[in-house]
Structure formats: structure tokens, C-alpha cells
Amino acid sequence: MMSVSARAGALSPYLQATKQTVKSLRSLAAKGLVSSAAPGGIRMAHTDIRIPDFTDYRRSEVTDPNQSSKESSEARKSFSYLVTGATTVLGVYAAKTVVTQFVSSMSASADVLALSQIEIKLGDIPEGKNMTFKWRGKPLFVRHRTEKEIATEAGVNIAELRDPQHDKDRVINPSWVIVLGVCTHLGCVPIANAGDYGGYYCPCHGSHYDASGRIRKGPAPLNLEVPFYEFPDEGTVIVG
């Protein structure tokens, strides 16, 4: 094995190359081929790297090396807070504008809102008759009931119904029944003033509804749907 002194005297390849270069330069200097000051004037790689100058990006208050930066720290902090606050306010306002426009774009247009309600003149519907209107792409049944129909539907035992619901819970004014003309079985359109109970009848699969729109016979599981409506006066109803 190599002795400790041998290992201590051994040089790395880099140092050996450097030592050899220095010897060569000294030999050339002795012969007068190069200046004896040449080794001291050798340019190293790290001396060629230019240090970047950030003076243009620095604030004028801190460019003077003879002046303490603490004297202008409060002013610089205030300016930073001002810029940060203004940027935050602008960002929040921009976000609010974007969200408002996005939500507005998802809202219903004016023509759609106009179709969301329908106003019906009740004086055009004679007693005992049913009229069909188109509302939101669906048939809407408005029925003017007779006194006999009102009494018959009010006297039905709700315990016998498939979808138990009293007549008074389905109407605001007993003389008027307002329901969607869509069968709750498969979405067919029933026929008014027909069926075993004198209300509505769906010929597609044989569902029978009474004059209150309640299912009484057939495969339909639920009563006809009652939409939201109100009477602004005795002769007008607004649905929707």
C-alpha cells in the first residue's frame, strides 16, 4: 500500500496540470519568450463573468451607498402598501365584473321570462267546460267546474285514492281547476271531460282522472300536477 507521505505528496490531476502549466510558463520566461509577469496576468474563467447591474431597478432612495436606507423605509413601505391595496381593489372589481357577466349570461332572456307566465281570461271559459292552453311547452288544462262537480269531488274519501289529496288542497277557487295536461304515467296528453269519473282520460294506457285531476283508475301513479297560479282579480288567472 502507498505510504501516508506518498499520498500526501500526490496531487490531483487538476493540480498536476496547473503545476505543469506554471513550470512551462517559468521555462518560457527564463528563455525570454514570455514576460516574467505573465503568470500573474493569466485570466481565469471567473474573472470574465460580468456582475449584473440592477441600478435601474432600484429606488433612488437606496442607490446612495453613503446614506442609510432606514431613513426612507417608511416612505417606501407606504408606497408598497398603496400599490398593493390599489391592485387588490382592481382585482376584486375585475373578478366581480366577470362573475356578474357570467351569472347574467346564464339567466333567462327577456323572451323566455315573458313565456314563463301566462294570463288567462276566465270569462272565455263556460261553466262545465275545459280549455287547453300552451304554457312552457306543455298543455295547461283550465276547467270551469259546475256546482255538482265541486260537491262530488269534495265528498271523495281520500283514503281510497292512490295519491291521497283532498280537493281543497288542489284548488284556490273551487270553481276552477288548473292542472298540467301531462299524464303522470308516461307523459301522454289526457282527454278532458272523459273517462269513468268525468274528469280526464288518457287513452294511451287507460288512466282515469276525476274532475280534480286526481288519479282514480289505471297505471298512472300520481295526480295531475298543479302549477303555481294566482287570481289578481275575479276574471283573471296568472299561471307561473
d(CA 173, CA 178): 10
Q: Is 115 exposed, middle or buried (0-12, 13-18, 19+ CB in 10 A)?
A: middle
Q: Which of 46, 166, 185, 205 is catalytic?
A: 205
Whole-number Cα distances in Å, 59 to 70, 175, 208: 13, 84, 87
**Which architecture, in CATH terms, is 115-239?**
3-layer Sandwich (2.102)
Residue spans per domain, the chain: 73-107, 115-239
What pLDDT was estimated at residue 7?
A: 44
Active site residue 205: yes
Reference 197, options 160, 237, 171; nearest CA is 160
Closest to 211 measured CA to CA, from 160, 150, 139: 150
pLDDT tens per residue across span 153-180: 999 999 999 999 999 999 999 999 999 9
Model pLDDT for residues 102-124, shown as the tens digit of each residue: 887 777 666 666 667 899 999 88
Residue 51: exposure state from Cβ atoms within 10 A (0-12, 13-18, ≥19): exposed
Q: Whole-model pTM above 0.75?
A: no
